[in-house]
Amino acid sequence: MPGKELAIPHVSGDEKFSNTYQYWKDEKTIAAAKKAGKTSAETNYKDFRWAQKSFDAEGALDIGKQYFNQKNAAGKSCASCHGQDGEKLRGIYANYPAYSKKLKRVVTVGTQIKHCASERLGLDWADDSRPNVLTDFYIASLSDGKIIKIDATQPGPIKQAYERGRDLFFKRAGHFDFACASCHTPPTVGKRLRSQRPTTFFGDAASYPIYHFPYALAGDDYEYVFTLQHQIKSCQLLSRIYPGAEGSPAMTDIEVFLKASANGYRMSIPGAEYNMDTGYLD
């Protein structure tokens, strides 16, 4: 699909796509856009998903914190290395996915948690398991307000992952022969699609993981938390593409592309899933 040559690893890249960035680049512009009567779709939903915090996610974050402090038989927990309340992990979520020297590939925080839990604690916390997803959400909340920075411009594994992820984002697949970009780039962005209006892919990753009540996929047991991996899987199922395994190299590359497309934007965890002003549906 055309358009991918315009993508750059920075949130301002939206100017070449939906060109709504001017309405949601920070709190001030969002407030001004709302005052000028712009809709939520025109602020890329950042007026609530990013500028407001979820009232309901506290329970899920608490469970994540419990997993983080859960001691194994030897009395060890994530906190043993990463500090009480994860103080040593503050800010890291804004720089993930990152290259793991140990695993010799780019990994999401979820994949990092899986390997850490397995090696250090002897726990089987698969990428898409309840303890992993909820711990991931808790760790992400420790980076709330941090500016996202994924360096996809220097030659190296992250740049390569970004480019592969971008190519996958623009690749047509599945029963309908749709790409991710079919919905998340113009002219579809902002138009009515099955009673919703799709977002531009720029800046979206800043609100993930997101507390997604009452949505869940069949078999989910994550307290309605959607990591970016889980969101991509959900999108694939909706558009009839065989879903990738969460944490797989291809899915990780897509996450690198999305996260780098939020470079320069602040993380907002837990972002509000709902706009209390129901006018956003118009």
DSSP per-residue letters across 200-247: PSSSGGGG-SEE-TT---TT--STTEE-HHHHHHHHHHHTT-PPPPTT
Q: How far is the CB of 126 from another protein (least distance, A)?
A: 10
Tokens coding 209: 């993981």
**How far is CA 157 from each of CA 50, 106, 139, 245, rounded to the nearest angstrom?**
29, 7, 24, 21
Q: How far is the CB of 80 from another protein (least distance, A)?
A: 25
Of 147 and 216, which has the nearer Cβ to another protein? 216
Of 94 and 180, which has the nearer Cβ to another protein? 180
Specify the amino acid at residue 279.
G
Q: How far is the CB of 217 from another protein (least distance, A)?
A: 11
Of 119 and 124, which has the nearer Cβ to another protein? 124
Residue at token pair 């804004």? 94
Beta-bridged to residue 53, according to DSSP, are: 271
What span, in angstroms and rounded, lies between the C-alpha atoms of 204 and 12?
A: 12
Among candidates 97, 108, 137, which has minimal Cα distance to 224? 137
Q: Please name the helix (run of DSSP H) or strand (run of DSSP E) that holds residue 99, with its range, or none.
A: strand 98-100
Q: Which residues bind another protein (CB under 8 A)?
A: 1-2, 124, 168, 171-178, 182-183, 187-188, 191-195, 236-237, 240-245, 248-251, 254
Of 44 and 185, which has the nearer Cβ to another protein? 185
Of 5 and 242, which has the nearer Cβ to another protein? 242
Among candidates 199, 232, 260, which has minimal Cα distance to 46? 199
Q: How far is the CB of 45 from another protein (least distance, A)?
A: 17
Of 169 and 211, which has the nearer Cβ to another protein? 169
Q: How far is the CB of 253 from another protein (least distance, A)?
A: 9
What span, in angstroms and rounded, lies between the C-alpha atoms of 142 and 90?
A: 5
Q: How far is the CB of 2 from another protein (least distance, A)?
A: 6
Q: How far is the CB of 87 from another protein (least distance, A)?
A: 33
Of 6 and 250, which has the nearer Cβ to another protein? 250
